[in-house]
Chain A
Amino acid sequence: MGKKVLIVDDDADIRTFASSVIENSGYTPIIASNGEEGIDKIREEKPDAIILDILMPKESGIKMYREVKTTPEFSAIPVIILSGIAQRTFIRSQKALAEDGEAVPEPEVYLEKPVEPEELAATLKKFLS
């Protein structure tokens, strides 16, 4: 149970579900319910992977993603986006933000809700083993 996975989602059910998948895969889940809390948890816990929702109050999923990818000490952490938003919508939103800021690399994995638990588990395994 060495590796830690941070799950950031405003929906409690998704947090419970993802935590369960993380535990069953043999990792330790760390929970945050918004982007700001998520950044704090990265500093405190130094997770090995992040599962991130996009559409959360105050656009904090979009902001948090940018912050993770533009902060040198965080940028190597693989980010698994888990969102109800289609991938191309997310990419477009990042491009729109990039027009006045710096371009951000695309996430390692993009999963659309609803996600199969097996798919989530396999994705975690791919990055953590």
Chain B
Amino acid sequence: MSKLLPPKLLLIDDEEGIRKLLSISLKSDGYDVVTAENGEQGLNLFQKELFSIVLTDIKMPGMDGIQVLKEIKKINPDTEVIVITGHGDMESAVQSLHLGASDFINKPVSDHILSVALERAEERLKTKKILNKYANELWNMVKEKTEEIKRRYEFEDKLIRRSIDGIIATDREGNIIVFNRAAERLFGYTEDEVKSGKKADDLYPEAIMHKISDIFSGKTHEADVIFAGQDTFLQAKNGKSVPVRFSGAILYEGDRAIGSVGFFQDLREIKRLQKELIQSERLAAVGQTVAGLAHGIKNILNGLKGGVYIVNNALKKSSDSLAGASVEKGEPESKLRTGWDMVERNIHRVSDLVLDLLSYSKEREPEYEKYDPNIIVDEVCALMESKAKKNDVTLIKSLDKETGEVYLDPKGIHNCLLNLVSNAIDACIFDPDSGKDWQVKVEVHADREGGVIYEVIDNGCGMDHEVKDRIFTEFFSTKGNRGTGLGLLVSQKVIHEHKGTMDVESEPGKGTRFSIRLPKQEFTEKK
């Protein structure tokens, strides 16, 4: 046995002969041996310095080996205690093993058996040491990782809490697990209100909820992203709809969907700015029109004034010549003509300008004839097909041959329907909800009294009350400088000429339905 540091060994035996004998043998084996002649002395020594191996006799006066073993194990359970038992004293041997002794040796002690027992003890000590080291390392690692997890959890918790975007997380059943402050601001509910009693389907927009439920119920097996940056509206506590950009994901544990998380970006400020921009663009357009008009009128006025000036001059010269002044013959007449031509020309210019303006709102006499109302739908859809396609809008027509031919003004109704379909496509273009499959339906039905009903239905941006109340007002347009504000007004006029009605139903974010009802016309001959 070659060791750098000899292991310290405590030998307790009441017989001096054995102490000496074993000491010599142990020292020659390389141990640093300290001896004690009884239990008490042994324990005293042990308390002063820790021995890794203790060799103790069982039968001793006073404190016996069993007691020594107990005490030592109390002080340091890692100590290897080897007991020396009397020949055939199996009872003590078994008892000491129960109490944690590592081994026992029978008397008389054979050198060979002793060194085997010690070797095993050392082996165990070494293993224990390694195990301890591992355990310590493991413990430190666990401690470190636990702290890291705690830090990360706190960080993430703060991240969620402080996020500018509203964040909602739900479990599989739709119970709300996370509802941050931004979500509180968006929805108007407090976290407590939501966590006690609200479910995902009370908060998420319908289309999104649908998709989530489909994934949870296994109807669709889609990627874990529900929507990435979709513009939609959410319903706040006060009933108002709030424009948001939604991104969401399904949370998985292995293959199992365990919940969902949704991020809501507040678009209210952006929408407000957009609205302001449209408004200012509209004002600019109005300003431009007025400026253009003013410039034209100013030139005409100057032409008129100039004409009058020249005519007046000529008249003056003519009266001067009558009074005997020297005036070139024929000069006043030609000037008079020049001036008068100017006046005439500028009167034409001003009347042309006024007529151009009026042609916007020109009164057109309706021309009634027997006509198949389905054909108008066909014509309008054919005209609008390319605009619809270009903007990803599906144009659907639904005809009804029951209508037969009816009396109506095909040109007027054509323009009317064209205007409504064009508006409907615009409503889809203006719709911020880019996740929708936009469609515009153009329908014609025969009604029971022999009249005709046209309907134009879109699932675009819809209108709120304020807009709906004003759409039939002159020069009101929601399209910025794209609209004249006259389209619906003209359409309505055509319908009124047919003694018909035009109704509108609309919901912001859902779409708009325009219905035109034309009663049966009793015309016997064309005008």
Chain A residues close to B by CB (< 8 Å): 11, 13-14, 16-18, 20-21, 24, 55, 84-85, 112-117
Decide if B313 is an interface residue (CB 8 Å cutoff).
yes
Residue of A nearest to B298 (CB): A84
- Nearest 8 interchain pairs by C-beta: A17-B306, A84-B298, A13-B303, A114-B301, A114-B302, A84-B295, A113-B302, A113-B298
17 additional A-B pairs beyond A14-B299, A17-B303, beta carbons within 8 Å, are A11-B299, A11-B303, A13-B345, A14-B302, A14-B306, A17-B302, A17-B307, A17-B309, A17-B342, A20-B306, A20-B310, A20-B313, A21-B309, A113-B299, A114-B298, A114-B302, A117-B309
A11 to B295 CA separation, bound complex (whole angstroms): 13
Interface string of B287-300 (1 = CB under 8 A from A): 00000001110110
B residues near A18, Cβ cutoff 8 Å:
306
B residues near A16, Cβ cutoff 8 Å:
306, 310, 338, 342
A residues near B304, Cβ cutoff 8 Å:
114
B residues near A113, Cβ cutoff 8 Å:
298-299, 301-302
Can you pick out 12 interface pairs between chain A and chain B where the beta carbons lie within 8 Å of each other? A13-B303, A13-B345, A13-B346, A16-B310, A17-B303, A17-B306, A17-B310, A20-B310, A20-B335, A113-B298, A113-B302, A116-B305
Determine whether the beta carbon of A13 is less than 8 Å from that of B342. yes
A84 to B342 CA separation, bound complex (whole angstroms): 18
B contact face: mostly helix, strand, loop, or mixed: helix
A24 to B320 CA separation, bound complex (whole angstroms): 14
**How many residues from B make CB contacts under 8 Å with A?**
20
A residues near B313, Cβ cutoff 8 Å:
20, 24
A21 to B295 CA separation, bound complex (whole angstroms): 22
Determine whether the beta carbon of A14 is less than 8 Å from that of B295. no
CB distance from B489 to the nearest CB of A (A): 31
Given known contacts A13-B345, A13-B346, A84 and B299 CB-to-CB distance under 8 angstroms: yes
B residues near A116, Cβ cutoff 8 Å:
305
CB < 8 Å neighbour of A13 from B296, B298, B306: B306
Between A11, A14, A16, A21, the greatest number of chain B beta carbons within 10 A of the residue's beta carbon is seen for: A16
CB distance from A98 to the nearest CB of B (A): 22
B residues near A24, Cβ cutoff 8 Å:
313
